[in-house]
A = this chain, B = another copy of it.
Amino acid sequence: VSLRSLRYYEEKGLLSPVRQENGYREYGEADIEKIGLIRLYFSLGLSVKEITDFFSCAFHDGTRLPCLPNAIEVGEKKLAGIRRQLDILRRAETQLEEYIARWRGQLEYAALEKENGGE
């Protein structure tokens, strides 16, 4: 986790580490844990706002049940987005494979042409 990322999370209100007298940040265990969650959520494709929503959900006086339907909804939207992205990437993969194969073919053909032309 880069320094800049931590700064960013804090700037966005996702994180609020305690400050020492000098102004230096002190990351407690809870912060570390939270950072892990943040990274996880980011890796799932969530945005800052969605993550803050999740957090405000999770830490609102223990009763996080009313948030569950919302979480499920957001999660499903994200899932749909991920699947769309997967589709796109898979298509790009096969396309690119074809292109590369074609280029290789052109290279070989050019090599042959050179050989025969050099005779």
Q: Which residues of A contact B (CB under 8 A)?
A: 40, 43-45, 65, 68-69, 71-72, 75-76, 78-79, 82-83, 85-86, 88-93, 95-97, 99-100, 103-104, 106-107, 110
Contacts and interface: CB of A to CB of B under 8 A. Distances in A.
Interface of A is mostly: helix
Contacts of A91: 43
Nearest to A97: B79
Nearest to A78: B96
Given A82-B89, A96-B82, A104 B44 contact: no
Given A44-B99, A65-B106, 20 more contacts: A40-B95, A43-B88, A43-B91, A44-B95, A68-B106, A68-B107, A69-B107, A71-B103, A72-B100, A72-B104, A75-B96, A75-B100, A75-B103, A76-B100, A79-B96, A79-B97, A82-B92, A82-B93, A82-B96, A86-B89
